[in-house]
Amino acid sequence: MKVVENQSLQGLNTFGVVAKTRYLTSLNGLDDLPQYAEWLSANDVPSLVLGGGSNLLFKNDFTGIVAKVDLAEKSLIDSDNDFYYVQAAGGENWHQFVRWTIDQGYAGLENLSLIPGTVGAAPIQNIGAYGVELVDVFESLQAFDLQTGEVREFSKEACQFAYRDSFFKSQAYGRYIILSVTFRLAKKTDWKLNYAGVKDQLEGEPTARAISDCIMAIRQSKLPDPAVIGNAGSFFKNPILDKSAWETLRAQNENLPGWEQPENTMKTSAAWLIDQAGWKGHREGDAGIYKNHALVLVNHANATGADLWGVAQQVIYSVQDKFGIELEPEPRVL
């Protein structure tokens, strides 16, 4: 394991903001893990596990060590009458892995096509898109515990998946490095086509490849490409409200969207709230809200992390003021 000092993070975050880390290392194999744990106990600095940097905002330089997970490998590890069990290492590129499963004839991940980042980060916020979440196809994961130095297996229940959340994003933040994820992909296909116009835009019979292609095309038409305009996808989570609070707000705002959730709650649309508060397309220097999607905070060129966070905070205050709802950022803000 090699540790280098004073490294730029600009190419390692999809906002493309200029930031530096005091130390940077790459975890390429399982042998690196005990060495990394030892390094951390010998050097009393903050640590950050990094995948593709597509769900992070660096407001400042990082004063500790960034460990980039570069573990690679993917294979079919088992199958039974109903499922294929496919395992991928934490450093595998998520979208390339999804397309690889399709090439092998395994269906189930197609709706999650073109989400940036790595396999190891996917469970952190239970990634989701177009009516499917990671939890729907998840079997188990293996993670290295930086406190005990042991590798531990986590079942679905132990991961405590919720909407854009998990055990790893909340209670255990920073404690585990996710080494590999095992997916349970059903042999009997159950296409999810009812979300955001997928059915209308799909050409011909549904297949995993056709759905993946269709979702890639929809996403490319709606979301900015981080290689062109820096962003981290949706910057705000959709708020979950008590049903009675949602009904009160709906009485004052007849177009307020709402989707039934468990335990008498409703999810509403952060994009709608931000749009109504007048922020869509807003720009301050190079920081702004994307003109085609109110959830996406964008770096048009040279915005700093502080500039972007400044715009995000104004959006949060303004939505709180207008609707009494406190928006929560989806990415990790550092």
Ligand X SMILES: Cc1cc2nc3c(=O)[nH]c(=O)nc-3n(C[C@H](O)[C@H](O)[C@H](O)COP(=O)(O)OP(=O)(O)OC[C@H]3O[C@@H](n4cnc5c(N)ncnc54)[C@H](O)[C@@H]3O)c2cc1C
**Which of 101, 125, 212, 268 lies at the binding interface for ligand X (CB under 6 A)?**
125
**Which of 16, 211, 218, 233 lies at the binding interface for ligand X (CB under 6 A)?**
233
Q: Among this protein's residues, is 250 annotated catalytic?
A: no
Whole-number Å distance between alpha carbons of 96 and 119: 10
- What is the C-alpha R_g of the chain? 20
We find the least distance from the C-beta atom of residue 67 to ligand X, in angstroms, to be 9
**Which of 47, 101, 113, 231 lies at the binding interface for ligand X (CB under 6 A)?**
231
At CA 329, angle to CA 325 and CA 331, rounded to 5? Answer: 165
Query: Among the options 164, 184, 212, 318, which is catalytic?
Result: 164
β-partners of residue 7 are: 21
**Which of 20, 187, 283, 332 lies at the binding interface for ligand X (CB under 6 A)?**
332
Helices in the chain by DSSP H: which ranges? 32-42, 94-104, 156-159, 198-201, 208-222, 243-252, 270-276, 305-323
Q: Using the rule CB under 6 A, is 109 a contact of ligand X?
A: no
Site for ligand X in 306-325 (CB under 6 A): none
Contact call for residues 68 and 27 (beta carbons, < 8 A):
yes
Site for ligand X in 289-308 (CB under 6 A): none
- Token pair, residue 129, equals 């898109």
Q: Using the rule CB under 6 A, is 329 a contact of ligand X?
A: no
Q: Using the rule CB under 6 A, is 116 a contact of ligand X?
A: yes
Nearer to ligand X, 122 or 308 (CB): 122
Alpha-carbon separation of residue 216 from 113, 220, 225 (angstroms):
6, 6, 12
Compose the 43-72 pattern: x for residues touching ligand X by CB under 6 A, - for all others. -----xxxxxxxxx------------x---
Q: Using the rule CB under 6 A, is 129 a contact of ligand X?
A: yes
Alpha-carbon separation of residue 2 from 28, 40, 89, 121, 246 (angstroms):
10, 13, 20, 22, 52
We find the least distance from the C-beta atom of residue 30 to ligand X, in angstroms, to be 13
Q: Using the rule CB under 6 A, is 243 a contact of ligand X?
A: no
Q: Using the rule CB under 6 A, is 21 a contact of ligand X?
A: no
The amino acid occupying position 261 is Q
Query: Among the options 54, 212, 234, 318, which is catalytic?
Result: 234
- Token pair, residue 254, equals 């007849």
DSSP letters for 188-246: S------STTHHHH--SS--HHHHHHHHHHHHHHHSPPTTTSEEEEE-BPPPEEEHHHH
**Which of 14, 299, 304, 318 lies at the binding interface for ligand X (CB under 6 A)?**
14
Q: Among this protein's residues, is 330 annotated catalytic?
A: yes
Nearer to ligand X, 86 or 249 (CB): 86
- Interacting residues with ligand X (CB under 6 A): 14, 48-56, 69, 90, 115-118, 120-122, 124-125, 127-129, 176-178, 223, 226, 231-233, 332
Catalytic residues: 164, 234, 330
